[in-house]
A and B are shown apart, each in its own frame.
Chain A
Amino acid sequence: MPTDVVLESAKNLKREGLRTFLTLIGVVIGIAAIVSMVSIGAGLGVAVESQLDALGAETILVIPAGIQNIRTTLTDKDVDRINGISGVDSVAPIYSESAVMEFNGEKISVSISAVDAGDAEIFDDTGFFEVAEGRNFEKNESTAVLIGNEIANNYFDKKINVRKQIQINGIDYKVIGITAPQAQSFGGGPDTGNSVFMSLDGLRRISDATTPSIIFVTATDKDSIQDTSDEIKELFEDKYGEGSVIVYTTDEILEQVNLLLGVVTIFIMGIAGISLIVGGIGIMNAMVTSVLERTREIGLYKALGASNTKVLAIFLLEAAFIGLIGGVIGVIFGFGMASLIAIVGTTAGYDLIAVITPEIILGGLGFSIFIGMASGFYPALRASRLDPVEALRYD
């Protein structure tokens, strides 16, 4: 018997083809918008996680912050102090400077990032840096630089190849490698394609370079990383005051990023949810119209033996079907939209991927069916409560 009610509801929707189609559009748009946002949000989470994974679970980042708009300046002594903490395995400060680069008679302004040549692989460990051509530094190389792919290909009239000679602030350097395009840099800036990388010895040929812009600390083991991080935090608070330096473990960064992503995703889902509410009102409108149009039919069903419960079930199932079909199409469209956004984003240089999980699919479908049934409940209740005598004589 329930199968008959289900089949009858499905047939009714088929008979009202155009109306069903128009009602579906609202639901499809709402669900597609929500699914695409959740998919992109989840994709961003995965991207951030994989980049932080590259940093390693034992990594602690020390970034100068500011108190009352005065930015804290880290020094080499701070690096030594961190080194003195018991849980610290290694410390790799990164120094940043602006400089003028000259090639083939042309000059442009570039930003330089430098690490101790012995820690050159720290660039690799950031997860944001990849050598596309040539090689990374080796120890005692003070005249070698790696340049970003943008600098190599687009900044100058002539392309700069590996082994070319360039000048930075008038001093000669040799290009030993070119980096691959990346989505983000250490400071969260546009991308590493616009930077020049060199050893600290190399940087000291043009600058004092005594104030690291960020310090990568590796803890001896990940179980005690939080204690080590707290100790570093305490050290800087004692010296520069509370809030002078941001000290984050990779887990803490992930937590913060996920929190931010979660807030942004919920906000966007809220906006997308409005379109779903509009879709729900569309279902309600269509169902109320349908109940009015089918008043005599409902009266007849009741005369022929249909109980109030059965009439309620027929109309409620029709609404649920709209929700289900709208949900299926919406999830497919939503993932399609998310994939498109990801492709466009990736082309524009942002590390975006569309993620679809069983939770997103089931969540989208469940929510859609819920909206369908919630919107269809009032019209269905109205239909079920129709007086059979009045309904049969309704014009």
Chain B
Amino acid sequence: MVTEEIVRLENVAKIYELDGINIPALNGVSFEICKGEYVSIMGPSGSGKTTLLDVMTTMMKPTAGKVFIEGRETTTMSNNDLASFRGKKIGFIFQTFNLLPKLNALENVMAPMWINGVPRGERKKRAIALLKQVELGDRMYNRPNQMSGGQKQRVAIARSLAMEPNIIVADEPTGNLDSKSEKLVMEILNNLHKKEGKTLIVVTHDASIGKKAQKQIIIKDGKITSSGSSKSCKQV
């Protein structure tokens, strides 16, 4: 089976400068993620996995190296182009949900759509369908403070799907959830990967979640110690 590569990092380095001291966070990181793959990124605290996520999702530019998303080099793009590109290609799910507190669930899901220019009539229709997909059809007009952690994370999942991106990136998606909500959220994410063919990249501390991924990228001291497979996407 021939699969396209969707994310590729080539020799990526990121060095933070703090009070004149250079602190390396990533050091020569290279790997690729194939389209439709479920990948987990794991590593201890301070290993560089958050920096890796930020660089990989174009939220932060690397100090050196190249990042390709769907075949396009992102490191040379302007900030404005990058924002627009990111908005359409990558869906984000955060540990702390990052829902807008003054908007209800429906408005939160519609937020990426107005930002990225989806026609007004289309937005509501799509947001309602997405909220129903995450089983929140009855909580559409609730604000985040009227919802449980699990419900908030499901709204965030619906929001990440609003622009129909191929890549879903989840940063510790179950970190703030009880076990019941955790199970439900992971089930929804798994379905996105299995049924909809989304590329799912999950950053996690939780080995039990990480192990379920097709590919596990382990990072330590800013270096990849294991990237699951040495084969390129076309060889899979």
Residues on A lying within 8 angstroms of B by beta carbon are 1, 4, 8, 15, 296-297, 299-310, 387-389, 392
Q: Could you tell me if A305 and B92 are in contact, using CB atoms closer than 8 angstroms?
A: no
Flag B53-74 by CB within 8 Å of A: 1 or 0 each: 0100101100000000000000
Give Cα distance in the complex from A388 to B54, angstroms: 10
Pick out which of these stretches binds chain A: B107-115, B145-153, B183-191, B201-209: B107-115
Residues of B with C-beta under 8 A to A1: 117
Q: Give the docked Cα–Cα distance between A15 and B54 (Å).
A: 31
Residues of A near B92 (CB, < 8 A) are 303-304
Whether A305 and B114, one on each chain, are in contact in the complex, defined by CB atoms closer than 8 angstroms, is: no
- Closest residue of chain B to A8 (Cβ to Cβ) is B114
Complex CA–CA separation, A271 to B206 (angstroms)? 66
Q: How far is the CA of A304 from the CA of B57 in the complex (A)?
A: 11
A-B contact pairs, 23 of them (CB 8 A): A15-B102, A297-B100, A300-B98, A300-B111, A301-B111, A302-B59, A302-B83, A303-B57, A303-B59, A304-B111, A304-B116, A305-B83, A305-B86, A305-B112, A305-B115, A306-B115, A307-B84, A308-B79, A308-B83, A309-B80, A310-B83, A388-B59, A392-B59
- With both beta carbons as reference points, the residue of chain B lying nearest to A310 in the complex is identified as B115
Given contacts A300-B98, A389-B54, contact A305 B163 (CB under 8 A): yes
Known A1-B117, A301-B115, A392-B94: A306·B83 in contact at CB below 8 Å: yes
Given the complex of chains A and B, what is the CA–CA distance between A301 and B111 in angstroms? 8
Q: What is the distance, in angstroms, from B16's C-beta to the closest C-beta of chain A?
A: 11
Other-chain contact of A305, B87, B100, B120 (Cβ < 8 Å): B87
Residue B88 at the A interface, CB < 8 A? yes
Asked if residues B114 and A303 are in contact (CB atoms below 8 Å), the reply is no
Q: Return the CB mask of B88-107 against A: 1 if under 8 Å, else 0.
A: 10001010001010100000
The answer on a CB contact under 8 Å between A308 and B87 is: no
A389 touches B60 (CB 8 A): yes
| B-side contacts of A309, CB under 8 Å | 80
Q: For window 10-69 of chain B, which residues contact chain A by CB distance below 8 Å?
A: 54, 57, 59-60
Name which residue of chain B comes closest to A387, CB basis: B60
Q: Of all chain B residues, which has the CB nearest A7?
A: B114
| Interface residue from B59, B84, B98 paired with A296 (Cβ < 8 Å) | B98
Shortest Cβ gap from A395 to chain B (Å): 10
Asked if B80 contacts A308 (CB within 8 A), the reply is yes
Q: How far is the CA of A135 from the CA of B178 in the complex (A)?
A: 100
- Tell me the smallest distance from the CB of A311 to a CB of chain B, in Å: 9
B194 CB to nearest chain A CB (Å): 25
